[in-house]
Amino acid sequence: QVQLLQSGAEVKKPGASVKVSCKTSGYTFSTYYVHWVRQAPGQGLEWIGWMNPNTRAVNYAQDFQGRVLMTRETSTGTAYMTLSRLTFDDTAIYFCARDKGGLEVEGSLDSWGHGTLVTVSS
């Protein structure tokens, strides 16, 4: 079955960077877009962007442009999201999710990782 396994919780200082991994299994990694979504404590869902694992094309939400980088390692089926210049407001759970549209981005997220808690604290 489709699984997305994310890396463990992180604690970072303001100004630092964090890299979260999302190891996929149960499907062909290169044929489905991967999205990243975050959720601050007690708040709603916020879309960060998507990556095409086949072409490495990316599309970032305007609020994150210049500060986020989405990459992948096709040999292991792993997607990565790096967020830099962290502030206290970046404290959140970060989710990766598969787009069910296959080779076309649909925006329909049918499988999700369990989430990675990133805490920004001085």
Partner 1 sequence: SYELTQPPSMSVSPGQTARITCSADTLPKQYAYWYQQKPGQAPVLVIFKDSQRPSGIPERFSGSSSGTTVALTINGVLAEDEADYYCQSADTSGAFVIFGGGTKLTV
Minimum CB–partner distance for residue 68 and partner 1 (Å)? 14
Minimum CB–partner distance for residue 11 and partner 1 (Å)? 19
| Binding positions for partner 1, rule: CB under 8 A | 35, 37, 44-47, 50, 59, 61-62, 95, 97, 100, 106-110, 112-115
Name the residue nearer to partner 1 (CB basis): 16 or 69: 69
Name the residue nearer to partner 1 (CB basis): 77 or 113: 113
Please give the distance of CA 57 from its chain centroid, rounded to a whole number: 14
Name the residue nearer to partner 1 (CB basis): 15 or 107: 107
Name the residue nearer to partner 1 (CB basis): 16 or 67: 67
Minimum CB–partner distance for residue 72 and partner 1 (Å)? 19
Minimum CB–partner distance for residue 75 and partner 1 (Å)? 26
The answer to whether the Cα torsion of 86, 110, 45, 50 is positive or negative is positive
Phi (first) and psi of residue 69, to 5 degrees: -140, 125
Could you tell me which residues come within 8 angstroms of residue 23 by beta carbon, excluding any fewer than 6 positions away?
4, 5, 6, 76, 77, 78
Q: Are 122 and 16 in contact (CB under 8 A)?
A: no
Amino acid at 76: T
Query: Which H or E element spans position 21?
Result: strand 18-25
